[in-house]
Structure formats: C-alpha cells, structure tokens
Amino acid sequence: MTTSALKSLGTAALFALGMASGMVRAEAIHFPAGKATFDARCAVCHQAGGKGQDGLAPPLTAYPGHYAASAQGRHQLPDTVLHGMYGEIHVADKTYNFKMPNFDSLSDDELAQVLNYVVFDLNASSHGSAKPFTTAEIKAARAKSMDAGAVYAQRTAVTKALGLR
C-alpha cells in the first residue's frame, strides 16, 4: 500500500471513529433502566422521548423538570405516577383531557428510575439543580391516601405557584 493510500485510510478510520463517538454522545442516556420502563409502559401514550400526542397525552419534555426542581412541585411527579390523574390540563398552551392511569404496581425503584429518566434525560434544559428521585421519596408518596382527582387539584396549585400554564 502507498503512503497516500495509508493516509486516506487513516483519515477514513478517524472520521468513522468521530461519527461513532458523536453518535454515542448524542444518545447517552443517564437512566437507561428508567428509559426501558418508559418505552414499555409510558411511550404508548406519551410517545418515545415523551414528545406527547395531541388529544391523548401531554408532552413530558418541559414541565416535569420544573416540578422536580421546586420544593412545592417535586412531589407532583411521584403522586401522578402512583395515583393517576384526570381532568383538563394545559401544557404549553395545548389542552389535554384523558386519564393518566396509576402505576402503583411498579416497584419504588422502577418508579424512581422512570421519573429520573423523564426529569434528567427528557428535561435537560429545565431541571436546574434538581436531585434524582430516591426510592424513599416514592415510598412516602405511595403511603399517601390520594386519588386521581386530588392529584389533579394539586397540579392546579403547583402549576399556578410555578407560573406554568
């Protein structure tokens, strides 16, 4: 092989490596177990990557980060997945009114992981200095006697306090 052929082979290899590492970076998931649960249990309504579906389920790509980062809003996330929610809501000026089922059959760990995937992988620009959810927080939320209507009423107060519409 000539020197120039070797050189171009080297360039091609470097290029391929760069592409591959770029792809790995773009797809780096902080909470892969949470993503697996999300893809299996949540994406049917909220769609892959939580982008939402008009007329069915809201996007989970902005509000959950704000909830997780605030003292008043944080518990809204475990409460929603454990107790469900229904009633008309607004997310980024769109209206949704369908039933969010409860997922109390999932373990504390599965729920902490799925919420961490939502907050840290899907809300990178809004979670601020939020800390990851722990199994203890899920356990505490599970112990509350709350129903889907109470979660809805609480959401109204939380979104108002956080200035979200």
Q: Rule CB under 6 A: which residues touch ligand HEC?
A: 41-42, 44-46, 57-58, 60, 63-64, 77, 80-81, 85-87, 89, 91, 96-101, 103, 114, 118, 152, 155
Q: Which is nearer to ligand HEC, 101 or 132 (CB)?
A: 101
Residue 160 Cβ, how far from ligand HEC at the closest point, in Å? 13
Task: Tell me the three state secondary structure of residue 28.
Answer: coil
Neighbouring-strand partners of residue 95: 90
Q: Which is nearer to ligand HEC, 12 or 153 (CB)?
A: 153
Residue 86 Cβ, how far from ligand HEC at the closest point, in Å? 5
Neighbouring-strand partners of residue 53: 57
Q: Print the SS3 string covering 79-148.
A: HHHHHCECCCEEECCEEECCCECCCCCCCHHHHHHHHHHHHHHHCCCCCCCCCCCCHHHHHHHHHCCCCH
Q: Which is nearer to ligand HEC, 91 or 138 (CB)?
A: 91
